[in-house]
Amino acid sequence: MSKKKLTFVCQECGYESPKWMGRCPGCQTWNSMVEERIHSVPWAAGKGMASISKNESPVPITQIKAEEAPRLPTGVGEFDRVLGGGVVPGSLVLFGGDPGIGKSTLLLQISGILSEQGHRVLYVSGEESLKQIKMRADRLGIESAELFILTETHIDEIERQIDQAEPKVVILDSIQTVYHPEVSSTPGSVAQVRECTAVLMRVAKSKGIAIFVVGHVTKEGAIAGPKILEHMVDAVIYFEGERHHTYRILRAVKNRFGSTNEIGIFDMQESGLVEVVNPSELFLEERAHGAAGSIVVASMEGTRPVLVELQALVTPTSFGTPRRTATGVDHHRVSLIMAVLEKRVGLLLQNQDAYINVAGGVKLNEPALDLGMAISIASSFREKPTSPYDVVIGEVGLTGEVRGVSRIEQRLTEARKLGFKRAIIPYKNTLGWELPEGIEVIGVQSVQEAIQVVLEGETR
């Protein structure tokens, strides 16, 4: 006989309590504790507790043959780059993003491409009807006999259909709509999401099927449900973007089969999502020439250099405490750079409001942007425009020194390809290799020296 257990579970972090509390002790969220009745089933009777291992006893590691599983390339380079080279059979991937950002569109496009390559794909939807999915497929131009569509929310029925169809790839949209019959809580609750994900993980590992699971996100941008959900899956991918921009960014925050530094960039069009091969041109196409506070920086996103415009606006404050606002970069890093400019360069910024923005809405987090932020702030403060043909690269220390960065060759190659004529980089990065032709490279050792080169036209 199963026993009923009454508990209160936080819908944000999964914290359990025998009584209701207004504030969750785990994540400090108010009004997130929801009552759930859990049927405790013996381990032998739990269907989701089946073993995924075919071995009855442990095997010495020396007897295990290391065979690299062949990946399934989707043909979409941006998507394959984020996954680490393609879809890995037997992997469980969590796919998150804001509502309406294009998650279902992208996954349906990937399903169509894989099915046209001869791989059987099962697309399971708990949110849309068959006709709605067909309308989207017609808009995307998807016609393949190997793409099967199923509308179902019962996890046992989904597992049965997977056994019958024997697909290579399964898409589930979304995990918050699926329910487990042995869990009495509502779909989307912590217990339901945890149990359904455990079933899908067992199916993926035991049958070698790649499963993509769509997850809803909270208003803070994190994937809804318990944090253990992200630990259970093999990869966690976010689909980001601004509603007033047409491009979307695919970013991995966890990947057991590849790097988490890679990003994929897509352009949302009427015919679907189109990959952007050269994102630097996209971010720089509307740049204004001869504007104070604007500079181009070279950031590395995984193995690919991306050139973006960094903008700064410095104005006298109207309040007792000046404002420091940053969009696309860490605002703590902005405060650090401004402190260095005030202490080491002599710029009086303590009574100035500062607004930093990465044009295009892309989010960057790399120390090599420091020197670009310092020059853009100094340019806006002094009302001196920068050259539209300059690119700035470098990390700034607290003593005002400019430190070296990695992959300087790739950054300079991308800058030269886009027509930039001069690059200001750390002096350390000019040593030990042959500088490229077609672009003037100036090495600087301090922020003061970089500002003199860019804003005052002085050279070493």
- First-last CA distance in the chain: 83
How far is Cα 412 from Cα 429, in angstroms, rounded to an integer? Answer: 11
How far is Cα 95 from Cα 110, in angstroms, rounded to an integer? Answer: 13
Is 97 assigned to a binding site?
yes
The amino acid at residue 206 is S
How far is Cα 343 from Cα 424, in angstroms, rounded to an integer? Answer: 22
Is 432 assigned to a binding site?
no
Is 254 assigned to a binding site?
no
Q: Which residues pair with 296 in a beta bridge?
A: 309, 391
Sheet holding 272-275, edge to edge: 147-151, 121-125, 169-173, 210-215, 92-97, 235-240, 247-255, 263-269, 272-275
Tokens of residue 281, six digits: 């041109």
Is 346 assigned to a binding site?
no
Cα–Cα nearest to 365, from 327, 311, 410, 404: 327
Cα–Cα nearest to 124, from 97, 95, 150, 143: 150
How far is Cα 138 from Cα 206, in angstroms, rounded to an integer? Answer: 34
CA angle, 12 as apex, 7 and 16 as ends, to 5°?
25
Backbone φ/ψ region at 263: left (φ over 0), alpha (ψ -120 to 50), beta: beta
Is 158 assigned to a binding site?
no
| Contact of 191 with 185, CB cutoff 8 Å | yes
User: CA distances (Å), 346 to each of 394, 399, 400, in order?
Assistant: 20, 13, 11
Is 99 assigned to a binding site?
yes
Is 237 assigned to a binding site?
no
How far is Cα 265 from Cα 248, in angstroms, rounded to an integer? Answer: 6
DSSP string, 367-393: GGGHHHHHHHHHHHHHT-BPPTTEEE-
Is 436 assigned to a binding site?
no
Cα–Cα nearest to 93, from 268, 215, 190: 215
Known binding-site residues for ATP equal: 97-104
Known binding-site residues equal: 97-104
